């Protein structure tokens, strides 16, 4: 360093170009203009003896601090001219001498075993002194600014080989040798060849030189420019290669992992953990996908595209961290280089384990693509993933299979019962039937849903259909039928292929699962609900229409999808307003005004619903439905094995003709009939209450069951094929004669059966229950009713009831039964027990009444003040009590 020309006295500055030609030793002010010529090198030359040095040279300087002749060897890496304060600045890294090293750190790296011995302090230093050559230097990565006045001489640095070589002539004061580069505190030794480095550094800018040495010291960190640094290159390659390879292997089958690692890169600037998690998932997915490997040729094109994209992005990813990691050291290394950097990979591993439990991915689809153009054609993607899950469930299902070894008796009623299940698909109900018959009285609703959905799919627009109606009026059935028709149109290539997704609010644990389900059906991957929601948002709003298929979503039991934020219903409806959405939402709920009630004008103002109200079925419609279900079975003939009751339906007349003539012994013909009156009454009864088709079918089914039960009991048939001889039922057989005059047994489901089935559902049985309770329970209720009559209040405190019971018993003391029972209840007159305050079985009776739902009790600690009241109608209780002969008279 020289502040002024005076200090520079005795020195001159020489600038050379790359080839070593002197450009002009005194023209220091016009550097800028000459920049174009290439790298300039500055040298300082002592005029007296023409000793000169420049970048890459080793020099010996006196230590400025103490004057006892200590000298230090420096490696010059920068000579700056005309800086702010000085004319010339000389910057150098210093070399450490042996005594400047920390012995322990030294041994830690080279001979860890030495440290294991427990020697007194100073021992290691001594050991070091013995071991090391006094002329060995250690290149320390520490900046030093040098004073020209302290200059002693040039130094000659050799490598180990030439130093040991006895032929080399050595100058004791200026010759040294260097084997290692290390940190300024004398730790972390890395081998270095100074002769090579000298050449390298000479051609570098000072900053680059410093980076370069750092790279040597820490080979894993990469500098932003990758010229000539072999160590660094090795690092990058060794790290990048295997991963690339791995992904290439997987990519044959794994779509998801590609997308994921693709999105890694973009996210990498986030917290480290974040990328860890996704990394982990990569692996998991890869495994999954390998196992699910379904090699679909048609997909290959797509895949390879994605792979390329993937590789690119991986390269990008390698680039990014480089910057991050090499920036930090620049700031800190000169002072105290930390070891954190080295540990980084270990942390990664650790966090990987930590998130091993994470099941679902949570990076939304939207974050994986930089621009919408990157989004691949999703129409091909979607089906791909559906197969694997289906396979799993198929496997599960087969577990439930069992072989049918035992004998099954199919009675004449079995087929009828099967038909009366309320939700059988069309195929199961009719083989070849007219469509109008299948959905009786739902033609209009069907048409309007069909039309709006059809036109929406056709035009690629979005729409909402809102369907409301009480349970059991065929809402879901109609929608499903619409979809089936539409899918038929797709097969005919009238319509583009669309996705159909069914989401039932009550078939998920929590409402937010609906996002997961929908996204899973669209893309086949499992995301957390938050990510799924974002993905859907992105998918519907941003992804262009050409790249996706129309989606028809059936939101069944919409009210169950309402959560606190009400965001689910809002979102589903809101998506349909997007231009790109291509989404058709068919919402099904019980009430017409559900969206308004829950969301107010937020939704209804902007969405033009197609609203369809399903009203309850009328009795005629119900009758049609039942008739339709029984088509081909009502009034049909069966061959019945008289021994077991096993029945065979006579399906066509030809067969009938054939067998009729020679009926084998033990086989008889039975005619099964459900009387029209019975169907009529069932449909009328149900229509008057709710118009619920499910209910109507169930009543009929139950009636059939009752009829079957009687039939089987009469003939002594059992379900397992064993005949029970039990002929106590002597009702005469219904006989009738068919056309040919043959006797045929007939089984009819009659009004009485239907009525019995209906009564089962209506009768609450509470009166019977109370009638058959114990006397004490009835006494309790009697007292409660008495009190209610006296006070006119429904609620009574238990203390009052206790008193009332006692009063009732006391007042009726002349009744013989009461007298006897009162003694027993209070244990009056018992020689060894005193009178009780509550009647016996008090707690039992109260518990029984409360549990049966007859009584409601306030839950107070103090029994006397707890209030009770009846939970069923007073009349029922009164009627029951009046049936008790004793209490009737009180």
Nearer to another protein, 169 or 564 (CB): 564
487 makes contact with another protein (CB under 8 A): no
Q: Segment 238-297, which members bind another protein (CB under 8 A)?
A: 291
Return d(Cα 184, Cα 165) in angstroms, integer.
29
Per CB under 8 A, the segment of 34-42, 226-234, 610-618, 823-831 that binds another protein is: 823-831
Q: What angle do CA 868, 871, 877 make, to 5 degrees?
A: 95
Q: 3-state class of 8 per DSSP?
A: coil
Q: 3-state class of 621 per DSSP?
A: helix
Per CB under 8 A, the segment of 39-47, 143-151, 264-272, 861-869 that binds another protein is: 861-869
Closest separation in Å from C-beta 876 to another protein: 10
Per CB under 8 A, the segment of 244-252, 303-311, 391-399, 435-443 that binds another protein is: 391-399
Closest separation in Å from C-beta 724 to another protein: 11
694 makes contact with another protein (CB under 8 A): yes
Return d(Cα 376, Cα 550) in angstroms, integer.
16
Instruction: Count the Cβ atoms, other than its own, within 10 Å of residue 476.
Output: 18
Nearer to another protein, 356 or 408 (CB): 408
Helices (H), 584-730: 594-599, 601-604, 619-629, 653-661, 676-689, 693-715
Per CB under 8 A, the segment of 62-70, 275-283, 416-424, 618-626 that binds another protein is: 416-424
CB 79 within 8 A of CB 91: yes
Q: Segment 291-310, which members bind another protein (CB under 8 A)?
A: 291
Sequence-distant (≥ 6) Cβ neighbours of residue 177 within 8 angstroms: 133, 135, 136, 137, 157, 158, 159, 160, 162, 163
Closest separation in Å from C-beta 647 to another protein: 12
396 makes contact with another protein (CB under 8 A): yes
Q: Which of 371, 402, 737, 814 binds another protein (CB under 8 A)?
A: 402
Closest separation in Å from C-beta 400 to another protein: 5
417 makes contact with another protein (CB under 8 A): yes
CB-count burial class (<10 Å; 0-12, 13-18, 19+) for 55: buried
Closest separation in Å from C-beta 391 to another protein: 8
Q: Which of 515, 683, 848, 881 binds another protein (CB under 8 A)?
A: 848
Q: Which of 307, 592, 746, 852 binds another protein (CB under 8 A)?
A: 852
Per CB under 8 A, the segment of 58-66, 184-192, 593-601, 863-871 that binds another protein is: 863-871
Binding residues for another protein, total number by CB under 8 A? 96
Q: Which of 865, 882, 888, 889 binds another protein (CB under 8 A)?
A: 865
Q: Which of 149, 171, 774, 791 binds another protein (CB under 8 A)?
A: 774
597 makes contact with another protein (CB under 8 A): no
Per CB under 8 A, the segment of 100-108, 239-247, 737-745, 857-865 that binds another protein is: 857-865
Closest separation in Å from C-beta 181 to another protein: 51
590 makes contact with another protein (CB under 8 A): yes
Q: 3-state class of 417 per DSSP?
A: helix
Q: Segment 492-551, which members bind another protein (CB under 8 A)?
A: 506-510, 513, 516
Return d(Cα 205, Cα 55) in angstroms, integer.
10
Nearer to another protein, 73 or 561 (CB): 561
Return d(Cα 540, Cα 189) in angstroms, integer.
58
CB 582 within 8 A of CB 550: yes
Nearer to another protein, 6 or 404 (CB): 404
Nearer to another protein, 216 or 770 (CB): 770
Return d(Cα 82, Cα 124) in angstroms, integer.
47
773 makes contact with another protein (CB under 8 A): yes
110 makes contact with another protein (CB under 8 A): no
Q: Which of 764, 789, 811, 888 binds another protein (CB under 8 A)?
A: 764
CB 471 within 8 A of CB 559: no
Q: Segment 784-813, which members bind another protein (CB under 8 A)?
A: 799
Q: Segment 454-473, which members bind another protein (CB under 8 A)?
A: 470-472
Per CB under 8 A, the segment of 17-25, 209-217, 256-264, 831-839 that binds another protein is: 831-839
Q: Segment 321-360, which members bind another protein (CB under 8 A)?
A: 359
| Residues listed for the chain | 890
Least Cα distance to 148 among 46, 70, 276 occurs for 46
Per CB under 8 A, the segment of 139-147, 375-383, 417-425, 728-736 that binds another protein is: 417-425
Closest separation in Å from C-beta 640 to another protein: 16
CB 582 within 8 A of CB 536: no
Strand partners, 502: 554
Nearer to another protein, 346 or 509 (CB): 509
Q: Which of 117, 298, 401, 492 binds another protein (CB under 8 A)?
A: 401
Q: Which of 272, 340, 451, 833 binds another protein (CB under 8 A)?
A: 833
Q: Which of 755, 872, 878, 890 binds another protein (CB under 8 A)?
A: 872
Least Cα distance to 785 among 771, 763, 800 occurs for 800
Q: Which of 112, 831, 875, 885 binds another protein (CB under 8 A)?
A: 831
Return d(Cα 394, Cα 388) in angstroms, integer.
10
409 makes contact with another protein (CB under 8 A): yes
Closest separation in Å from C-beta 886 to another protein: 10
Q: What angle do CA 313, 319, 323 make, to 5 degrees?
A: 145
CA distances 4 to 7, 24, 87, Å, are: 5, 20, 6
691 makes contact with another protein (CB under 8 A): no
Closest separation in Å from C-beta 811 to another protein: 16
Q: Which of 26, 130, 397, 885 binds another protein (CB under 8 A)?
A: 397
Return d(Cα 573, Cα 464) in angstroms, integer.
7
Q: Segment 701-760, which members bind another protein (CB under 8 A)?
A: 701-702, 709, 718-720, 760
Q: Taking the alpha carbons of 879, 880, 884, 888 in that order, is the dihedral positive or negative?
A: negative
CA distances 398 to 159, 388, 505, Å, are: 75, 16, 28
CA distances 176 to 96, 148, 151, 825, Å, are: 11, 21, 17, 116
CB 192 within 8 A of CB 93: no
Least Cα distance to 259 among 285, 293, 234, 239 occurs for 285
393 makes contact with another protein (CB under 8 A): yes
Q: Which of 65, 172, 834, 875 binds another protein (CB under 8 A)?
A: 834
Closest separation in Å from C-beta 457 to another protein: 20
Nearer to another protein, 423 or 455 (CB): 423
Return d(Cα 470, Cα 646) in angstroms, integer.
40
Q: Taking the alpha carbons of 558, 562, 568, 571 in that order, is the dihedral positive or negative?
A: positive
Q: Segment 548-567, which members bind another protein (CB under 8 A)?
A: 557, 560
Instruction: Count the Cβ atoms, other than its own, within 10 Å of residue 399.
Output: 7
Q: Which of 766, 785, 787, 801 binds another protein (CB under 8 A)?
A: 766
Least Cα distance to 34 among 15, 58, 20, 51 occurs for 15
Return d(Cα 815, Cα 327) in angstroms, integer.
105
Q: Which of 135, 239, 418, 484 binds another protein (CB under 8 A)?
A: 418
Return d(Cα 639, Cα 671) in angstroms, integer.
9
Return d(Cα 313, Cα 792) in angstroms, integer.
82
Per CB under 8 A, the segment of 167-175, 649-657, 787-795, 856-864 that binds another protein is: 856-864
Backbone dihedral region of 515: left (phi > 0), alpha (psi from -120 to 50 degrees) or beta?
alpha
Nearer to another protein, 607 or 855 (CB): 855
Q: Taking the alpha carbons of 509, 510, 514, 517 in that order, is the dihedral positive or negative?
A: negative
């Amino acid at each position: 360093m020289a502040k002024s020309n005076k200090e520079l006295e005795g020195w001159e500055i020489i600038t050379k170009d790359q080839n070593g030609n002197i450009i002009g030793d005194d023209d220091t002010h016009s550097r800028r203009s000459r920049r174009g010529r290439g790298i300039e090198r500055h040298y300082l030359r002592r005029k007296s003896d023409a000793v000169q040095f420049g970048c890459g040279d080793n020099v010996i300087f006196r230590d400025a601090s103490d004057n006892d002749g200590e000298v230090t060897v420096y490696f010059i890496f920068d000579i700056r001219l005309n800086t702010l304060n000085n004319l010339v600045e000389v910057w150098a890294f210093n070399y450490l001498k042996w005594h400047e090293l920390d012995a322990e750190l030294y041994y830690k790296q080279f001979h860890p075993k030495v440290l294991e011995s427990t020697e007194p302090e100073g021992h290691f230093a001594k050991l070091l002194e013995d071991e090391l050559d006094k002329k060995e230097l250690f290149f320390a990565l520490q900046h030093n600014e040098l004073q020209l006045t302290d200059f002693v001489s040039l130094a000659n640095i050799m490598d180990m080989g030439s130093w040991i070589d006895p032929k080399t002539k050595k100058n004791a004061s200026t010759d040294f040798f260097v084997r290692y580069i290390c940190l300024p505190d004398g730790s972390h030794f890395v081998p270095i060849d100074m002769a090579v480095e000298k050449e390298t550094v000479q051609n570098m800018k000072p900053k680059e030189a410093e980076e370069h040495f750092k790279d040597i010291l820490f080979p894993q960190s990469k500098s932003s420019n990758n010229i000539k640094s072999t160590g660094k290159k090795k690092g990058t390659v060794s790290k990048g290669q295997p991963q690339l390879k791995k992904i290439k292997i997987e990519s044959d089958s794994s779509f998801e992992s590609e997308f994921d690692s693709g999105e890694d890169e973009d996210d990498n600037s986030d917290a480290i953990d974040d990328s860890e998690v996704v990394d982990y998932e990569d692996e998991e997915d890869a495994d999954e996908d390998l196992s699910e490997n379904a090699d679909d040729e048609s997909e290959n094109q797509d895949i390879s595209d994605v792979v390329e994209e993937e590789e690119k992005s991986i390269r990008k990813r390698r680039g990014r961290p480089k910057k991050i990691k090499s920036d930090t050291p620049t700031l800190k290394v000169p002072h105290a280089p930390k070891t954190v950097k080295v540990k980084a990979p270990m942390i990664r591993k650790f966090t990987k384990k930590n998130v091993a439990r994470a099941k679902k991915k949570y990076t939304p689809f939207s974050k994986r693509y930089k621009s919408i153009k990157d989004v691949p054609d999703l129409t091909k993607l979607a089906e791909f993933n559906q197969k694997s899950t289906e396979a799993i469930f198929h496997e599960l299902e087969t577990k439930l299979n069992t072989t049918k070894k035992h004998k099954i008796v199919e009675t004449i009623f079995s087929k009828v019962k099967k038909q009366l299940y309320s939700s059988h698909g069309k195929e199961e109900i009719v083989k070849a039937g007219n469509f109008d018959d299948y959905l009786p009285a739902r033609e209009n609703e069907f048409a309007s849903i069909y039309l709006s959905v059809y036109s929406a799919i056709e035009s690629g627009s979005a729409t909402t259909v809102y369907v409301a109606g009480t349970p059991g009026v065929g809402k879901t059935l109609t929608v499903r039928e619409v979809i089936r028709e539409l899918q038929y149109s797709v097969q005919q290539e009238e319509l583009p292929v669309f996705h159909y997704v069914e989401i039932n609010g009550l078939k998920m644990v929590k409402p937010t699962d609906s996002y997961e389900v929908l996204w899973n059906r669209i893309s086949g991957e499992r995301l957390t609900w938050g990510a799924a929601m974002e993905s859907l948002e992105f998918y519907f709003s941003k992804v262009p229409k050409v790249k996706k298929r129309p989606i028809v979503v059936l939101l069944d039991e919409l009210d169950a999808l309402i959560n606190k934020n009400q965001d689910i219903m809002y979102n589903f409806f809101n998506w349909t307003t997007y231009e790109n959405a291509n989404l058709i939402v068919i919402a099904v709920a019980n009430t017409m005004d559900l969206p308004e009630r829950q969301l107010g004008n937020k939704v209804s103002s902007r969405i033009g619903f197609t609203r369809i109200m399903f009203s309850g079925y009328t009795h005629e419609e119900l009758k049609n439905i039942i008739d339709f279900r029984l088509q081909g079975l009502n009034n049909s003939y069966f061959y019945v094995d008289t021994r077991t009751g096993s029945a065979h339906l006579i399906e066509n007349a030809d067969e009938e003709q054939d067998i009729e003539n020679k009926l084998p012994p033990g086989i008889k013909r039975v005619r099964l009939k459900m009387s029209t009156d019975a169907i009529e009454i069932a449909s009328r009864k149900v229509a008057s209450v709710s118009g619920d088709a499910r209910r109507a079918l169930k009543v009929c089914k139950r009636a059939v069951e009752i009829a079957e039960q009687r039939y089987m009991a009469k003939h002594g048939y059992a379900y397992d094929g064993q005949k029970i001889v039990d002929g106590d039922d002597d009702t005469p057989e219904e006989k009738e004669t068919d056309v040919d005059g043959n006797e045929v047994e007939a089984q009819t489901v009659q009004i009485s059966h239907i009525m019995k089935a209906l009564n089962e559902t209506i009768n609450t049985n509470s009166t019977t229950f109370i009638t058959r309770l114990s006397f004490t329970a009835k006494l309790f209720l009697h007292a409660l009713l008495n009190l209610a009559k006296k006070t006119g209040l429904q609620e009574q405190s238990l203390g009052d009831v206790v008193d009332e019971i006692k009063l009732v018993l006391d007042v009726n003391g002349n009744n013989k039964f009461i007298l006897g029972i009162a003694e027993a209840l209070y244990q009056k007159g018992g020689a060894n027990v005193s009178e009780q305050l509550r009647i016996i079985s008090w707690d039992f009776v109260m518990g029984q009444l409360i549990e049966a739902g007859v009584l409601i009790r306030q839950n107070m600690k103090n029994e006397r003040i707890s209030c009770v009241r009846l939970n069923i109608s007073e009349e029922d209780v009164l009627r029951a009590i009046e049936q008790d002969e004793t209490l009737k008279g009180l």
